[in-house]
């Protein structure tokens, strides 16, 4: 592998509820302009672009980027469910590290509709057919929306195996709100107590309240990656580098294990985390700050263990000891995470990159993790794909 890709610039816009945002192309263009400004570059410097989104027609990337410039560069459109933004970042990093390009843009955006996620196609098999069948068998509760059954079912599995309680998920959501209160880009910045989370409307009795789920959100985020050579030539900030990155898809265990934790990607997460440690030579214990995929508080809890932040079955103690927040072992989701910042599918992974870049630059202001030098990013999409990225400050 060649020298690590440098994160030269990042940008994002504040996320918004469906119906309260600009159109997808305007949000994507705004995020790109912010990243260019942050890097001190012009669109003419970009040699390739990867544009991520889930809900949209083909070539939405061109529609967004043409508002910034029309320079004839390759623009590749990416769709990998909730891991779409990180998939665009993964491809941009590959382009730089392979030597195919010296300056590459990754942008993600999403214009979502209110309500539960669903397919727009009714005349063909969905990528979730096998996942839905597993969920029906393992969980039941057909009256509960599928996304809630997936991740609530994974949380329920952890409860049954390890004695985890509903209050543990509530503590995660309350922690997310405390972090978000420090983030001017968080959609929900009101602090919540554990009791308020538990008192929210029940979505699944004994398993989930409404505040434990992230909301559908619209938004955009972008990152510019470059080579050492390009950075030196243009006098760019070289503080933040991607030291290692891994993408995994489902293993046979996803279905064979007969466990909802596996159905929602536990093994994908564990494998990707191990791969980045082996590739970088950096142990998980050396990580200072983490942005992970908390689409539900339940997924944050099981991801603590999947990433190796704490041994399997010990997440409850990890939370009780405060090892997931400021003053503990790992500050997880200082941005407020998907639960508080919002989850526009195509933009989420790049918004995580935005947060961690500022953490490693020391420019995260009120939410700054003191002395942060190593950061881990986890972005998961069912169907499935998981991207784990390890960043380090130079």
- State the catalytic residues: 82
Distance of alpha carbon 341 from alpha carbon 119, whole angstroms: 24
From 8, 31, 6, 7, select the one nearest 344 (Cα to Cα).
Answer: 31
Task: Let me know: does 340 contact 176? Beta carbons within 8 Å.
Answer: yes
Per the rule left: phi > 0, alpha: psi between -120 and 50, beta: everything else, 345 is: alpha
Distance of alpha carbon 333 from alpha carbon 322, whole angstroms: 13
Q: Parallel, antiparallel, or unpaired: how do β-strands 374-381 and 385-393 relate? A: antiparallel
Distance of alpha carbon 270 from alpha carbon 286, whole angstroms: 17
Helix axes 297-307, 266-280, angle to 10 degrees: 40
Dihedral sign computed on CA atoms, order 157, 159, 164, 165: positive
């Amino acid at each position: 592998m060649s020298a690590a890709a440098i994160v030269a610039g990042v940008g994002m816009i504040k996320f918004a509820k469906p119906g309260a945002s600009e159109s997808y192309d305007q949000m994507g263009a705004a995020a790109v302009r912010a990243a260019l400004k942050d890097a001190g570059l012009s669109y003419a410097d970009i040699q390739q672009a990867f544009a991520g989104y889930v809900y949209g027609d083909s070539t939405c990337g061109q529609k967004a980027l043409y508002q910034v410039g029309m320079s004839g560069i390759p623009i590749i459109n990416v769709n990998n469910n909730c891991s779409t933004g990180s998939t665009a970042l993964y491809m941009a990093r590959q382009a730089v590290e392979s030597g195919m390009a010296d300056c590459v843009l990754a942008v993600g955006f999403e214009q979502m509709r209110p309500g539960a996620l669903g397919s727009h196609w009714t005349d063909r098999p969905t990528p979730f057919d096998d996942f839905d069948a597993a969920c029906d068998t393992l969980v039941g509760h057909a009256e509960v929306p599928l996304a809630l059954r997936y991740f609530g079912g994974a949380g329920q599995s952890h409860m049954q195996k390890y004695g985890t309680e509903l209050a543990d998920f509530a503590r995660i959501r309350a922690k997310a709100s405390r972090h978000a209160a420090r983030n001017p880009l968080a959609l929900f910045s009101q602090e919540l107590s554990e009791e308020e989370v538990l008192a929210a409307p029940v979505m699944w009795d004994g398993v989930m309240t409404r505040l434990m789920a992230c909301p559908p959100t619209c938004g955009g985020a972008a990152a510019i990656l470059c080579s050492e050579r390009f950075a030196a030539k243009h006098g760019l900030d070289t503080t933040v580098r991607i030291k290692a990155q891994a993408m995994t898809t489902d293993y046979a265990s996803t279905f064979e294990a007969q466990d909802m934790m596996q159905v929602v990607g536990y093994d994908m997460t564990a494998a990707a985390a191990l791969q980045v440690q082996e590739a970088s030579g950096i142990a998980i214990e050396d990580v200072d700050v983490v942005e992970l995929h908390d689409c539900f508080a339940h997924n944050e809890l099981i991801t603590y263990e999947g990433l190796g932040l704490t041994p399997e079955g010990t997440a409850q103690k990890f939370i009780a000891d405060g090892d997931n927040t400021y003053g503990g072992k790992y500050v997880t989701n200082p941005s407020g995470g998907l639960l508080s910042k919002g989850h526009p599918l195509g933009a989420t992974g790049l918004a995580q990159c935005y947060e961690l870049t500022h953490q490693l630059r020391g420019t995260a202001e009120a939410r700054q993790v003191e002395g942060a030098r190593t950061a881990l990013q986890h972005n998961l999409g069912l169907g499935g794909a998981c991207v784990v990225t390890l960043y380090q400050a130079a």
